[in-house]
Amino acid sequence: MNRRLSLFNVTSLVLGFAFLYLPILLLVVYSFNGSRLVTVWGGFSTQWYAALFRNEALMEAAWVTLRIALLSASMATVLGTLAALALTRYGRFPGRTLFTGMVYAPMVMPEVITGLSLLLFFVAVDLDRGFWTIMLAHTTLTMCFVTVVVQSRLMTFDRSLEEAAMDLGAPPLRTFFAVTLPLIAPSIVAGFLLAFTLSLDDLVIASFNTGPGATTLPIKIYSQVRLGLSPEINAASTILIGLVTLGVISATLISKRSVLRSRRNAQ
């Protein structure tokens, strides 16, 4: 098989990456624009980053977004880890198929449907929309991603290590915290970072379930862009892109390191 890239393949690859990432690169470059006009280059400047940190509305939205991301990612990590344990350790149990479908449904369902269904649920239970409804909605969205990451690690886990600990007299709970949890910790951290990243940049589900005093940064940016472009928005978007990129790269590296470590242990 000829593995060399043809001119057509290289051109398609370059055009594809340019279509995806060139607008993001332009946004980052123009966040350092000295001109107030976002489409006219006025020299290199960091003044809009300083203006961003003086913008109380945007900083309040960023603080709300950060709190929601941390809380939802933490809850999603706990629930997703428990779901992964149930799917890998308890074999076939009554309702397993339904449980599996419910766990993975938010991953394949359009966010508009997920946001609308959660909105109808919160209205039905008479729960005021705001900070906590967004947090619960993001937990529902991100839990399935944590489950996938942790489950993939548990499926390659060497059960003989747990059996050895229990043969030495360790009860199941102590075996889990002393043996299992440290070995799957990288996948749990990767799942947390992925959940944190997904919550950080979500717009659709948050817009359905937001309320007074719970405006997230993506919602704030979207509402201001509709009224007109501002250099401060470029700066805020660049910081958000950096945080999301850092979270995704960190989760990927930690997950790969966990897989390589498990392969070494298997050998």
Domain 55-266 belongs in CATH node 1.10.3720.10: yes
Distance between start and end Cα atoms, the chain: 31
* Helix-helix angle 96-108:56-89, to 10 degrees: 150
Residue 259 confidence (pLDDT): 64
Q: pLDDT at position 1, please?
A: 44
pLDDT at residue number 265: 58
pTM: predicted TM-score of the whole model, two decimal places: 0.80
Residue with tokens 């043809």: 6
Segments making up each domain of the chain, as ranges? 55-266
pLDDT in tens, the chain (267 residues): 455 667 888 888 888 888 888 888 888 888 888 777 777 777 788 888 888 888 888 888 889 999 999 999 999 999 999 999 888 887 777 877 888 888 888 888 888 999 999 999 999 998 888 899 999 999 999 999 999 989 888 888 777 888 888 888 888 888 888 888 888 888 898 889 889 989 988 889 999 998 887 888 888 888 877 777 777 888 888 888 888 788 778 877 876 776 666 666 555
Q: What angle do CA 65, 66, 70 make, to 5 degrees?
A: 120
Q: How many angstroms separate the CA atoms of 196 and 244, rounded?
A: 9
pLDDT at site 134: 93
Residue 10: partners with Cβ closer than 8 Å, 6 or more residues away: none
Core vs surface per residue 126-144: b (16+ CB within 10 A) or e: eeebbbbbbbbbbbbbbbb
